[in-house]
Chains A and B, each alone.
Chain A
Amino acid sequence: MSTCFLMKRFLTYGIVLLSLFGYNKNVFPQLCQTVELVDDETVQAQVVFDAFSKYNGGITINNVAQLKVKVDSNAAEPAGSCSWYLKLEVDNMGSPDGEWEELISYSAGILPKPTWDIVSVRVRNNCSTPVNDGFVNLPVNSTGLPYYIIDLASPLLRVGACVDNVNGPGNYIQNYEELYFNIDVRVKPGYSYNPGIYDLNLRFILQEN
């Protein structure tokens, strides 16, 4: 066999092996066996602005929803390889970027539709593991999203650490302090928007790193 023939064979098998094993270390089905938000039915929250004091001070709904995290490691994986992150996306059902979806308009006025940045969201748990556990304003449009509540691809921090960005396997029952999140929402519209009924969907996504 010539040297050229051997090199071709080497390259061919090399590509096959790389595609099978080398390029992606996740050759096994998953690093985590379960990544789940328990009780993930959509929550409907309504805020009614019918008095000037509400427009001025805004309306806050505490505990509007809970995120119950349940993440199991895949037994076949080496310890420490399963971790997750939590992020917030906004869905306005196809309306222009940065605007709420208009359901009804009360007025033919020239004022614009409300924008996303009148909403503040707070995600908190007993250990304050979210990166920011105070109220955070939504961005004016989708270029400021997603908002990471637990950072993407941060180093593994096992439950029990009770620090920022805990992202190891566990479940909200045994690790309530770190994996049970409460969500508060505040809406403060001010006086610059057209009266009407509007919808905005906040989507909390739990995903394996």
Chain B
Amino acid sequence: MALLDYLKQNNHDGIILVEIEGEQLTYQTGSVQATFYMSDKPYFTESSDSIGAIPFTPCIESDLRYGSTVSNIFGTRASRNYGTISLSTPEVFAVTTVSGTPQYGVKDVRSSISNDAIDVASTVTVKLAGPRSLFTYAEAITLFTAKVDNVSYSSGGGVSISISSIIDSVYDKSLSTCSGTYGTVLNMKPELVDFATLKYSVNDGEIEAINGVFDRAVALTLTTDYTVDLSAGTITLVNTPDDLTVDVSGSKESGVFARTTQEVVDRIIDQVSLNITTSSDWDVDTDDIGYIVENPGDITLDVVLDELAAGHLGFWFVNRSNEITMLKWDSSGINSYTYDETQVMDYSWEYNSETYRSTSASTYDRNWHSGGSPAAGADPTRADFHTSEFGGIKVSAVSDGVNNSSTIEAPTVHTYFAQFSGSPAKHYVVAPFRSRVYEVEVPAYDILDIGDSVTFPTDEGDVTGLVIGITTTLGKGYPTNKLKVLP
């Protein structure tokens, strides 16, 4: 029997395991920081387990809550909040490695007393285990990983550890080194990097292809008018241009050209050295997109994710495995769960009315000087793309129309801006949106997350919807999930 099936049976023990990597306050040659092991009930691993025979200190005395909610249900990002772990004692079993040899013993978690202590930024892993005689340590389910925000001690010996999501680092993560052109972009304005040779850079590194070079919308000729260095991401002109734009298939690494939204995000995450990946659960359009980061020092990763999610009328969040997932609002959900009335402890609903923000908020112009005119022989349908609102980002994942109905229309992702013509316009301006949002309380033993699909019974029949908020309570009481569900 799987652990979750076992735990779902009435009266069965679930054990919360918390592992915290302490911070080494004074560097000791050859040693690494301690890992503290604690639980809410007695739990001992066995020597055949990956962490050996470890006695978890049963000192967790608080309910453990963790939650994740799309902060504005029609905004794009999701927040993840965790509560506080209260310990009844500061003395917790720990393993430290000194010169390659593990040292075992009870250590004080307080920084004022111990060299190895739980401190701000320590990594926290929370697991749900079954009785060790029935389930191995490897079968314990990792509920989430987080980091320590604050540690406080009471005079009675109690310890309070506030924890929060590691996705704060997504919000804070500057793209300072990620300048570049991703996917297929039309009419980008390259940067003049060598005045003497008229060398222009279209990307900071190797690119897939240069698809066209234009001066005031007049196509230039390869070799005659310009040469290309794909490995450096540059073009070199023969004559000084008047108003240069380039069609580029951009960033290429290890022979792989990033085309789709997910591939572009993967590429950018790689470049910012963040210990996070994209999940396999993405459910947004897989068309080619184009995306330019011009002033990376001014923007952070969450802005990029907001923008790219907006291009799909979607939202993004970080799942329990700390992977970024992007979904469309009309997604059917990553995992689906069905509850019957024996499992639903409570439900209620309310109308909620909010507005999509003008997600792309992008305008486009012709690719000649504003107020000027195209050069003789130019293609007048070509357009240049501008987005002044988002700190230098240009995005080509845009809708082809204005949606003002009360339903969400799936966007169309366009590769070519030239499909647009006419006066500057904005896209994705959606009228106020009114929908029921359900609050449902169910047992916590399904490892639900934002983006999952749930079906549950109500007086009006079964309701199926997308989980847009979740608060899980574990600990002394019976564990419950409180879900916000958008049908």
Q: Are A and B physically bound partners?
A: no
